[in-house]
């Protein structure tokens, strides 16, 4: 061997290179993927590692014993375990203009793979598959760093090791066995104390390569980097923390537990927008930038991992698409009763056509499915509920608002994990013929995604049932372990499934005194559920007894491997792929009773969130990777992908008992549930964030499920006369939108089951989960994280450039969307995070009229993000902006995390509108509202006119036009409506003649009038007078009530109702007046949604209006 100090020998020119250009570029890309953008790959050389002859742990013979044919493999064979990649990497510091370099020794990860799933483990093949490239050792180039080179030959057989000389103990002439290849050995002689990510027995490493041209380049580049190095041997011992600080991220062996752990992040954080998870900051006062980088980086990696191309799937977003689980969840407070009725309506979600609920409302078959048949029957008289899609009469439709926006392509329908049975008439026999989708199933010949979903397959895959007050005996309060009651209810559930019961199996259960939760799953999916954990916590007497509290079950769902399809034109056995799991958690709780105990219920919820936790095996899902890091041995209920609370919450209604019963007993009061739920204690607790913050609940259309009473102690609806009716039985949910989607498709009570003082409640959900290869996903996360790791420790200051620091929105008009985009480019060499911050700590980030997306994010070097800024003035905004100056100027601050702030100037001019004002304001305008320079020009009250000009202009135009039955009842042409509104704002004449034959024009005028009246800050008839309106019994009394209205309101009421009376008298349709009353009553007598007073019935409003128009 010839020793050289980074000098190339002339003998190098005699050799050849066996490596193809395509292979070199592939290896270069793999090395490049390991590094950050601040590092430059100068040379990449493929070589074979030469183990030390006296190193028993790394000797060639040891490798040969594991793989007898290793030495016969070609130099560039990717399956050779001795294959190494030597990369010369340089790093330039722009602050001090210094350059440092290293040799990275990398190796492809290899894993043994069985040749056939049917073979035993002992007969597994030793074939090695190429994996992810990893860094094994790093040699900084400085001081006494040197390279030694020598000529050598490589033998083909197992007894001829890769070594420059004869192997000790080998027979003479061994080198002559078979063909040999010539090349050169390269020994790296590190400087005094090289940093390393692994301990080795020797500091020198020797490699063999026949690629002489690349070896020349490597030696020349190493020589250059050593000459420019400013580090000597005296300071070499501290290179990892001083001069070569940039190597820290590569030497660290830590992994991001939160990213790679199988335990999902806390739902209370993952459901928040990114900006709300960052530290407080403002202009000139940055927050905790280091912590913000971690939050932004983790969110970026998770999002990009789902978009990153994945060889294990056909889809281009890095995942194998989405699969759908159908889940039915039920809650039932059984009041210490044993099952004594058929539960099929509750369990299967089916209704008999002849079944009536306790309120006398008929529910159709499957009436709770997808909204289905309403729980409240159609009214005999015309109402807004019979005028389908009438929202266009009160505000501009969403389709017209966003008509200029391109509609995104619809996502593919998620695939079902269960196959439809061949005959819906014989489910029990079909269950035995359905192909099992367990891990032992062979890969189907057809793509299961291509199978159309059958109506017979609309059944749930998972059934979760929560019971409360299962056992109220004294023995049960002492935590009895008897399962008598559980067994009885399990038998009742199976019986309720009928002939389908044979296709279901109980997966898990948990009981605490009177609380029981059961999980049933279809047999064909049983193997997909695992890691089942249960827990319980008391919140009853003394805060610990089990008469109140919660039980919970946590489980993971792993799709069958057959659903993780290989790429097109490739074949892969299911044994080589590991689908990733989705974690589901179900909590069944029973909280404190009685109306006045709402604070105790809120406290119980907080305590249960703290107490409920699931034990996990140490190191099974979370592994400590840093010195001193503690391994968690428990996870909470919120550390899940999907969380359901199945509860008898005991939240009541903050209304007098008589008012609740009056609303429920009024047959023609449409929307009665929505009215009463405004006073629901649970909804108030969620809005005030005192309990269940972040949870969702589907719309409630069923009557209260509590409290019913048999015999004489009940009212006409069946409710107990001593207890106020309430929706105590609820089902809430929360999910991580980054990996799942939950859609509630039904929500209903089942009043035909009358064994308890509660009625059972059930809901159906579609849970769409990601189908992905876990190993591939983890590898993608590592690669992505490597691109953005150590942002907070970078020597280079992050730098971004704004395309334009001025954004002008021009004229901003009512209900007219305006959108601008701002491109931001990362001009630095390191990734950077950005966020918008307010000017002052207590100020908003942007004006209330402006919407910005995204408000925070991360950019790779030279990457560009398009920030979308949009303005849309609706009624709520217009009511504020009509009282403010026109100028919409302002300043936005875009903060570069660990960098400087950038200032963005936004401007625009708001165009005043007559919509979303008070009637008293419109009557004090000096002229058209658009002519105002500022709100200060509005006249005093003593100079007000009798009625708003805008209302009178529209009414007068329609009075002179021939009547049409379609007025107020047909959707308009939005362009004509916009033109009419613009004329009202500017005072211009309407461009339409009174004798026009175009029916679209009068319809547009009628809808404009409706929207103008509906946009008023206060309705024509104030809510405080609604109760008096209901007391009127004649037309004379109704007219006398007008004296209580403000003068402007009286004139508007008289003008509008006179016109309505005119068109109703002109119509030949006998129901025309009812239709008009149904349209105008909720507009002229609009409720105050923030009022603490119970609103009046819609039927009463219509009756009052009919005194004037019929």
pLDDT, tens only, 435-462: 233 333 333 333 433 444 444 567 999 9
DSSP sequence for 999-1028: THHHHHHHHHHHHHHHH-SS-SS-GGGHHH
Q: Report the share of the chain in percent with pLDDT over 90.
A: 54
For all residues of the chain together, what is the average pLDDT? Answer: 80
What number is the average pLDDT over the span 714-737? 94
- φ, ψ dihedrals at 575, nearest 5°: -70, -15
Return the sign of the alpha-carbon dihedral for residues 337, 341, 347, 349. negative
Contact 255, 625 (CB under 8 A): yes
Identify the domain boundary among 733, 753, 772: 772
Q: Are residues 418 and 509 in the same domain?
A: yes
Does 106 lie in the same domain as 70?
A: yes
What CATH number should be reported for the domain holding residue 655? 3.60.10.10
Q: Is the pLDDT of residue 846 over 90?
A: yes
Domain membership flag for residue 11: yes
Which three-class secondary structure state does DSSP give residue 377?
A: coil
Q: Give, for 604, the enclosing helix (H) or strand (E).
A: helix 598-611
* pLDDT higher than 50, residue 169: no
Model confidence at 481, pLDDT cuts 50, 70, 90, reads: low
Under the banding of pLDDT at 50, 70 and 90, the label for residue 1068 is confident
Q: pLDDT grade, residue 897 (50/70/90)?
A: very high
Whether 782 and 701 share a structural domain: no
784 and 768 together in one domain: no
How confident is the model at residue 594, as a pLDDT? 86
User: What pLDDT does 842 receive?
Assistant: 87
pLDDT in tens, 938-950: 999 999 999 999 9
**608 plus 497 within the same structural domain:** yes
CA separation for the pair 813, 979 (Å, rounded): 12
Number of domains in the chain: 4
Say which residue the tokens 């199988």 belong to.
Answer: 262
Tens digit of each residue's pLDDT (9 = 90 or more) over 374-383: 333 333 444 4
The pLDDT of 35-52, averaged and rounded, is 87
pLDDT number for residue 129: 42
- Confidence tier at 795 by pLDDT (50, 70, 90): confident
Model confidence at 179, pLDDT cuts 50, 70, 90, reads low
CA dist., res. 470 & res. 756, Å (int) = 11
For residue 15, being part of any structural domain is answered with: yes
788 in the same domain as 758: no
Residues 17 and 86 in one domain: yes
Using the 3D structure, point to which of 741, 757, 772 is the last residue of a domain: 772
Rounded to the nearest 5°, which phi and psi values hold at 950? -65, -45
Q: In the predicted model, is pLDDT for residue 489 greater than 60?
A: yes
Domain co-membership, 585 together with 502: yes
With a CB cutoff of 8 Å and minimum separation 6, the contacts of 162 are 48, 50, 60, 71, 82, 154, 155, 208
Asked whether residue 1096 is domain-assigned, the answer is: yes
**pLDDT band, residue 974 (cuts 50/70/90):** very high
Residue 920 · residue 1052 · CB < 8 Å: no
Position 22 in a domain: yes
Question: CA-to-CA distance for 960 and 951, rounded, in angstroms?
Answer: 15
Residue 488 lies in a domain: yes
Is residue 451 in a domain?
no
pLDDT bin (cut points 50, 70, 90) of residue 547 is confident
Same-domain pairing of 786 and 717: no
The CATH number covering residue 806 comes to 2.60.40.10
Question: Residues 912-947: pLDDT tens digits?
Answer: 999 999 999 999 999 999 999 999 999 999 999 999
Assigned domain for 523 exists: yes
What lies within 8 Å, CB to CB, of 1092 at 6+ separation is none
Which pTM value belongs to this model? 0.77
pLDDT at 988: 96
β-bridge mates for residue 951, sequence order: none
Looking up tokens 């009286």 gives 1050
Are both 302 and 237 inside the same structural domain? no
* 227 and 275 both lie in a single domain: no
- For 111-144, how does the pLDDT look when each residue is reduced to its tens digit (9 = 90+)? 544 433 333 333 333 334 456 788 888 999 998 8
| CATH classification of the domain holding 977 | 1.10.555.10
Residue 54 lies in a domain: yes
189 and 80 in a common domain: yes
Domain that holds residue 574: 322-379+411-438+457-772
- The last residue of a domain, from among 715, 746, 772: 772
Nearest CA-CA partner of 585 in 669, 651, 519, 502: 519
pLDDT band for 60, please (50, 70, 90 cuts): very low
According to DSSP, the β-strands at 462-468 and 322-333 are parallel
Least confident of 20-29, 253-262, 752-761, 1040-1049: 253-262
């Amino acid at each position: 061997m010839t020793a050289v100090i980074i000098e190339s020998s002339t003998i190098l020119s005699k050799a050849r290179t066996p490596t193809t250009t395509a292979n070199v570029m592939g290896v270069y890309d793999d090395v490049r993927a390991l590094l950050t953008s601040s590092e430059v790959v100068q040379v990449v050389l493929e070589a074979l590692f030469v183990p030390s002859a006296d190193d028993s742990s790394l000797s060639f013979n040891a490798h040969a014993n594991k793989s007898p044919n290793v030495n016969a493999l070609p130099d560039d064979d990717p399956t050779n375990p001795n294959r190494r990649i030597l990369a010369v990497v340089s790093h330039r510091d722009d602050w001090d203009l210094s350059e440092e370099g290293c040799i990275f020794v990398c190796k492809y990860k290899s894993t043994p793979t069985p040749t056939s799933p049917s073979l035993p483990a002992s007969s597994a093949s030793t074939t090695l598959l190429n994996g992810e490239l990893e860094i094994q050792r790093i040699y900084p180039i400085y001081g006494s760093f040197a390279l030694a080179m020598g000529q050598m030959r490589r033998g083909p057989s197992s007894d001829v090791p890769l070594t420059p000389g004869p192997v000790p103990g080998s027979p003479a002439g061994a080198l002559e066995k078979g063909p040999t290849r010539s090349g050169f050995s390269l020994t790296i002689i590190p400087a005094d104390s090289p940093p390393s990510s692994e301990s080795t027995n020797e500091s020198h490493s020797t490699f063999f390569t026949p690629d002489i041209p690349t070896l020349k380049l490597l030696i020349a580049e190493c020589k250059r980097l050593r000459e420019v190095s400013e580090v000597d041997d005296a300071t070499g011992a501290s290179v990892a923390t001083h001069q070569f600080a940039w190597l820290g991220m590569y030497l660290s062996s830590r992994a991001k537990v939160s990213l790679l752990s199988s335990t999902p992040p806390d739902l209370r954080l993952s459901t928040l927008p990114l900006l709300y998870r960052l530290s407080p900051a403002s202009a000139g006062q940055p927050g905790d930038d280091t912590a913000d980088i971690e939050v932004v980086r983790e969110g970026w990696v998770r999002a990009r991992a789902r978009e990153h191309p994945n060889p294990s799937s056909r889809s281009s977003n890095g995942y194998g698409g989405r699969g759908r689980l159908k889940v039915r969840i039920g809650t039932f407070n059984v009041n210490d009763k044993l099952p004594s009725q058929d539960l099929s309506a509750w369990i299967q979600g089916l209704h008999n056509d002849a079944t009536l609920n306790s309120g006398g409302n008929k529910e159709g078959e499957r009436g709770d499915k997808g909204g289905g048949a309403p729980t409240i029957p159609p009214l005999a008289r015309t109402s807004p509920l019979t005028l389908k899609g009438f929202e266009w009469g009160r505000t501009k439709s969403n389709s017209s608002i966003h008509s200029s926006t391109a509609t995104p392509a619809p996502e593919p329908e998620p695939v079902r994990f269960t196959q439809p049975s061949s005959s819906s008439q014989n489910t029990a026999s079909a269950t035995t013929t359905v192909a099992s989708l367990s891990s032992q199933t062979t890969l189907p010949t057809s793509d299961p995604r291509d199978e159309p979903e059958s109506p017979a397959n609309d059944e749930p895959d998972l059934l979760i049932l929560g019971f409360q007050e299962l056992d109220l005996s004294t023995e049960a309060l002492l935590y009895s372990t008897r399962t008598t009651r559980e067994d009885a209810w399990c038998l009742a559930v199976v019986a309720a499934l009928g002939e389908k019961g044979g296709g279901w199996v109980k997966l898990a259960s948990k009981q605490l005194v009177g609380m029981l939760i059961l999980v049933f799953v279809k047999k064909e999916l049983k193997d997909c559920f695992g890691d089942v954990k249960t827990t319980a916590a008391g919140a009853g007497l003394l805060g610990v007894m089990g008469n109140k509290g919660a039980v919970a079950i946590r489980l993971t769902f792993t799709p069958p491997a057959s659903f993780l399809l290989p790429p097109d034109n490739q074949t892969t056995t299911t044994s080589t792929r590991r689908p990733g799991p989705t974690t589901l958690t179900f909590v069944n709780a029973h909280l404190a009773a009685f109306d006045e105990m709402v604070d105790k219920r809120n406290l119980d919820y907080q305590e249960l969130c703290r107490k409920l936790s699931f034990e996990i095996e140490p190191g099974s899902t979370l592994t400590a990777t840093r010195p001193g890091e503690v391994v968690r041995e428990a996870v909470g209920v919120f550390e899940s992908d999907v969380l359901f609370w199945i509860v008898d919450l005991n939240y009541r209604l903050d209304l007098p008992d008589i008012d609740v019963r009056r609303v429920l007993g009024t047959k023609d009061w449409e929307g009665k549930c929505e009215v009463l739920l405004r006073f629901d204690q649970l909804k108030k607790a969620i809005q005030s964030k005192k309990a269940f913050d972040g949870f969702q609940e589907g719309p409630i259309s069923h009557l209260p499920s509590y409290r019913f009473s048999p015999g004489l102690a009940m009212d006409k609806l069946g409710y107990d006369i001593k207890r106020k009716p309430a929706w105590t039985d609820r089902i809430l949910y929360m999910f991580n939108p980054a990996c799942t989607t939950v859609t509630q498709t039904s929500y209903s009570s089942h009043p035909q089951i009358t064994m308890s003082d509660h009625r059972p409640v059930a809901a159906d959900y579609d849970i769409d989960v990601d189908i992905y290869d876990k190993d591939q996903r983890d590898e993608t996360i590592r690669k992505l994280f490597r691109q953005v790791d150590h942002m907070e420790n970078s020597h280079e200051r992050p730098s971004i450039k704004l395309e334009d620091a001025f954004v002008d929105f021009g004229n901003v008009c009512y209900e007219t969307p305006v959108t601008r985009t701002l491109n931001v480019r990362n001009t630095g060499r390191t990734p950077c995070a950005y966020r918008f911050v307010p000017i002052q700590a207590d100020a908003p980030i942007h004006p209330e009229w402006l919407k910005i997306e995204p408000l925070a994010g991360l950019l790779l070097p030279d990457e560009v993000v398009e920030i979308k800024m949009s303005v849309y003035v609706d009624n709520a905004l217009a009511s504020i902006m009509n009282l403010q100056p026109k100028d919409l100027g302002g300043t936005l601050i875009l903060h570069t995390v660990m960098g400087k702030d950038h200032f963005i100037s936004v401007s625009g001019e708001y165009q005043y509108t007559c919509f979303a004002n008070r009637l008293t304001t419109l009557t004090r305008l000096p002229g058209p509202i658009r002519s105002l320079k500022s709100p200060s020009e509005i006249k005093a009250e003593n100079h007000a006119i009798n009625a708003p000009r805008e209302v009178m202009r529209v009414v007068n135009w329609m009075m002179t036009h021939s009547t049409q039955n379609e007025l107020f009842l047909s959707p308009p042409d939005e362009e004509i409506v916009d033109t009419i509104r613009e004329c009202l704002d500017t005072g211009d004449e309407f461009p339409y003649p009174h004798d026009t034959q175009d029916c679209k024009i009068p319809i547009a005028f009628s809808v404009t009038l409706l929207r103008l009246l509906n946009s008023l800050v206060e309705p024509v008839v104030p809510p405080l007078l609604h109760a008096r309106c209901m007391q009127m019994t004649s037309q004379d009394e109704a007219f006398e009530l007008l004296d209580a209205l403000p003068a402007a309101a009286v004139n508007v009421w008289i003008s509008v109702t006179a016109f309505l009376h005119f068109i109703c008298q002109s119509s030949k349709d006998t129901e025309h007046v009812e239709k008009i009353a149904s349209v105008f009553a909720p507009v002229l007598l609009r409720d105050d949604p923030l009022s603490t007073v119970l609103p009046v019935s819609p039927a009463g409003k219509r009756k009052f209006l009919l005194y004037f128009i019929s």
